[in-house]
A and B are shown apart, each in its own frame.
Chain A
């Protein structure tokens, strides 16, 4: 077992089979990959547990800095997890070809190993690495597709039945906040939804990327001017801190890992179909079975970890947005009151179904109050946010 660690991390090639049968090798290899993945997850979570800091005094600039450094740490551990998963992925896809073509060389990293390329001139290896590249390209394309799709202006308006909004009072608030945060004025939209919420996103209109701010009907009906200003300031700080881009990026990675497990599932599904038609046993089918199962496992574990990290990251960004909002308005009471009102509103109207949950859940990362509750929630609980704001209020 000790050697398998080396097998995954070193590029040194063992030109002979380390095990007697290919099957034992495969089995050990798969287990080693799984162990690596779990250890990577474990290490990153331990890091996150011990290194996430809490603000110590009540200056909002201090709060901002703490949230910024925390989210930087989370982003970094997200990257590490992604790299580990890409390595695991490479490993598996090269494994497939080794076993299929019954190549004598058993190095899972031959793909990265120039020696193998240069000295063996192996057709199978070249094919294997080409196909691995192809799969990676598919993942990248999927990722880019995911990040681009939602950006179209017309598509956005049609999909969520959102209308442009023009109200002089809201406009003055937005002008003031764009001056206070030194950003361009975004497009403003109105969402027919009774819950109190707001979000920002990037839209592509006339080949120009523009920020769009969406306010719900509940927000405009239930909050007063100061509170609406606080909510809008919170959204502006999402623009200033570039949370939309970061959120999309993380969602893209998580989506790719999800896609990976789906690939494994479809592999298993095709396998079960062929099994039904021909009951003849063959090694290839067994191989695909193992590969399918590991792919599904890696995909699920990966996307679970990714989503957990994503939610931790997003929570830190919310704290950052809250403290930046107090910087722009210099009025933490208004933000506090808005949060209290939302809390009360949600408790009183548990029956009230929002008609337009689709739009809010798509952009849940950029919303003002959380759309989902639970462990994967994108926002800290209202209680935690109120606690931090009260700490900021101590200063005054």
Chain B
């Protein structure tokens, strides 16, 4: 009789332990998933800052670069498209919308680079304090974007590895929001970013 009671208690203990373990894994999944959202919102802040800076810069540059209307319009268009793509991603963080943002961001980066090259031809632009400050700020925002993206990608890796390993995968598959892997974000060439970081602040 006592043996039976002991076995029952042991079984109950084991079941309770398993339930607690499952709860813990679920909570960890939620935590990592939320961290992902938070990491993305950090990129979001920096990208929005960049989208605010671009029209400002264009306004300041306009009077000097009257013959470059095409380039300026291109930049504005690319900026608007990227901004829209970002709004889409903010609503739902899935693979297709992230890919769209990546594309729009790549186009924007290219057009800005083109604008920078064109600006070299106007020495009076360099003398303008506003323009110098704005382009400096744009560069530093780009650095921050790359760091924010790095943190986001790290969190994605952490979440995906945790989710895909055993026994977490058994639990993750039961919940819809944990089923798909989180998408990595690769906006620019890695080499390009490295160069950006190294050259910016000594200039």
Residues of chain A at the chain B interface (Cβ within 8 Å): 61, 169, 172, 175-177, 179-182, 225-226, 327-328, 330
List B residues 33-57 near A (Cβ within 8 Å). 35, 38-39, 42, 46
> How many Å lie between the Cα of A172 and that of B140 in the bound state?
8
The answer to whether A175 and B144 have CB atoms under 8 Å apart is: yes
CB < 8 Å: which of B35, B144, B202 contacts A179? Answer: B144
B189 CB → nearest A CB, Å = 15
B201 x A169 contact (CB < 8 A): yes
A175 to B154, CA, bound (A): 18
Among candidates B35, B143, B154, B202, residue contacting A176 with C-beta atoms closer than 8 Å: B143
- Bound-state Cα–Cα, A226 to B198, Å: 8
**Are A182's CB and B143's CB within 8 A?**
no
In the bound complex, CA of A330 to CA of B143 (Å) = 13
Which interface class (under 10, 10 to 19, 20 to 34, 35 or more) fits B? 10 to 19
Check A330–B150 contact: CB distance below 8 A. Answer: yes
Give the residue name and chain of the B residue nearest to A175 (CB): B144
Evaluate whether A182 and B201 lie within 8 angstroms (CB atoms) in the complex, with A175-B144, A176-B143, A176-B147 already known: no
Residues of B within 8 A of A (CB): 35, 38-39, 42, 46, 140, 143-144, 147-148, 150-151, 154, 157, 198, 201-202
CB of B201 within 8 A of CB of A179, answer: no
- Please state if B39 and A182 are interface contacts (CB–CB under 8 Å): yes
User: Could you say which of A169, A179, A180 has the most chain B C-beta atoms within 10 Å of its C-beta?
Assistant: A179
Given contacts A169-B201, A172-B140, A225-B202, contact A179 B42 (CB under 8 A): yes
- Residue on A with the closest CB to B148? A179
- A177 nearest CB across to chain B (Å): 8
Question: Are the C-beta atoms of A225 and B42 separated by less than 8 Å?
Answer: no
Provide the residues of chain A in CB contact with B140, threshold 8 Å.
172
* A180: B residues at CB distance < 8 A: 147-148, 150-151
A contact residues around B202 at 8 Å (CB) = 225
**B154–A179 contact, CB under 8 A?**
no
Q: Bound state CA distance, A337 and B50, in angstroms?
A: 33
Query: Which residues of the other chain, B, contact A181 by a CB distance below 8 angstroms?
Result: 151
Instruction: Choose among B144, B151, B157, B198 the residue that contacts A182 (Cβ–Cβ < 8 A).
Output: B151
Alpha-carbon distance between A189 and B198 when the two chains are bound, in angstroms: 26
Which residue of the partner chain B has the closest CB to A176? B147
Q: Which residue of B lies closest to A182 (CB)?
A: B151
Once bound together, how far apart are the Cα atoms of A330 and B197, in whole Å? Answer: 11
List of A residues within 8 angstroms of B148 by Cβ: 179-180
**Seed contacts A172-B201, A225-B202, A328-B150; 12 additional CB < 8 Å A-B pairs:** A169-B201, A176-B143, A177-B147, A179-B42, A179-B148, A179-B151, A180-B148, A180-B150, A182-B38, A182-B39, A182-B151, A225-B201
Q: Please, how many angstroms separate the alpha-carbon atoms of A225 and B201 in the complex?
A: 8
